[in-house]
Amino acid sequence: MIRATVVLALASASYGFSIGASHSWLYATRNLVKFPLLILTTAGVCALAYFVVARFLATRLSFVQVQRLVLDIFRDTAVLLASLSPVSLFLALTMVQPTRESLGEYPMFQGLNICWIALCGCLAVGQKARDLLREHRLDRPHRLAMLTAWLALSLFAGGQCAWYMRPFFGIGALKGDSPPFFLGTAPDFRGARSFYEAVWNLVQPPR
C-alpha cells in the first residue's frame, strides 16, 4: 500500500504541475502539493462511502478490501493522468493566454483537462470495480448499481474537494496575481460557493 501511495502522489504531482503551468510557475509548483492532496483527500472520502454502499447492497466485501480497491482506483487514475501530462503541459505553454479583456484559449484548456480527469476516473473505477465484483459473483443488477453509485460518489466528492482547494488552473486570477493557496468557499464569478451550486449555475445561469 505504501508503494501504491507513493506512485499515486508522484503521478498526480506530475499532472498537477502540467495544468498549473497554464497560469504561471507559481501555480505549477503549488500543484505539486495540491493535486496529490486532492486525489488523496478524495480517496479518503470515497473509501468510507464505497464501503457503506457495498454494505447497503449486501455484498461481502470487507472494509480492508474496499480500502485497497479505492487506493488502486485512485493510483490508476493518477497514472493515467500522468501519461497525459506532456500533452497538457504542451497545451498549457502554447495556448493563447487569458487577459483582462479575453479568456483566450483558457476555457478550451480547462474543459479538455476536466474531461480527461473524468474519463481517467471512470476508466479506473470501471475496471477495478468490475474485476472485484466479478470475483464475488454479484449478479448484473447489483454490479451496475454499485458501479453507478461509486462513480457518482467519486464525482461529487472529488468535485467538492477540488472546489475547496482551487485554483488549480488559475481561473480565479490572471498573471501577476497571487491568490490564497486555497480559495475555500469564496464565491466564483457567478456567486457559487460550492461545486454543486456551480454545476447548477451552469444548468440554470443566475440572472
Which tens digit of pLDDT belongs to each residue from 144-153? 888 888 889 9
Q: What's the whole-model pTM score?
A: 0.87
Cα–Cα distance list, 52 to 32, 46, 80, 146, 207 (Å): 32, 10, 27, 11, 39
Total residue length of the chain = 207
Q: Does residue 77 register a pLDDT over 80?
A: yes
Give the three cell numbers for residue 90. 504542451
What are the grid coordinates assigned to 87, written together? 500533452
Whole-angstrom Cα distance, residue 132 to residue 109?
Answer: 35
Helix boundaries (H) for 57-139:
63-83, 85-94, 106-135
